[in-house]
Structure 1
Amino acid sequence: MVGLVVVSHSSTAADGIAEVAGEMGGETRIEAVGGDGQGGFGTVADDIETAIEDADGGDGVVVLVDLGSAVMNAEVAIEMSDAEAVIADAPVLEGAVNAAVAATSGKSTVESVREQAEAARGVEKL
């Protein structure tokens, strides 16, 4: 099964987004990672790498990020990791929910899950 990692500058935001996605994701492994490791805002590549490794069930990982340095640190974490992992260019909450639903399919791949996460860019709320 494809796993998910939610990266936010806020650990509270990452936890909440992962919780919402988890409601739709069944047995999908969803890891939340956020903050600077010292209780502040930011992201840490080593923490993201650990989350990628924890989320990988053998079929790869899709990483959803909030903004700025989260992208850079996720890229570094992916390079450090042995897992197959990609970043989805998607809104983090809506993308995480779409990805979680897509990951429940026995036929899901990293690319199919990323595509569904990225499809959330076009979702209108009104």
Structure 2
Amino acid sequence: MRIGALSRLTGVSERALRYYEEQGLLSPLRRPSGYREYTDDHVHTVRSIRTLLAAGLGTATIADVLPCMVDEGGQLAAACPDLLVDLARERNRITAAMEELRDAREMLDAIIAAPVPPEAAQALDC
């Protein structure tokens, strides 16, 4: 199938599919005309890429982990035991980022809730 068909089947734009190829995540065959030729395996690969992106992994990390992933009835699983260490590290990175965002939200909540004396608002002309 050509790139347009893969795009329709996966819901991923042709531009994103080309980007995945640039990042080494997809390796379509090339026809003599230069057109990319995709197979049903590529459909599964694109779906795995989307799942890993949704899990917060970047494309460089996905390039490392994708060869060790298997699809067990629609659920990705880490087939290589060493991969679990990398995935745990990524999970810890995401957890730390979530904590930083929570702290930032709490700071904004405090700023929003802080009372402003009327004279301060008048002095600032707002």
- The answer to which structure has the higher strand fraction is 1
- The answer to which structure has the higher helix fraction is 2
The normalised TM-score by structure 2 is: 0.33
The normalised TM-score by structure 1 is: 0.33
> Who wins on radius of gyration, i.e. which is larger?
2
Which one has more relative contact order, counting CA pairs under 8 Å at least 6 apart? 1
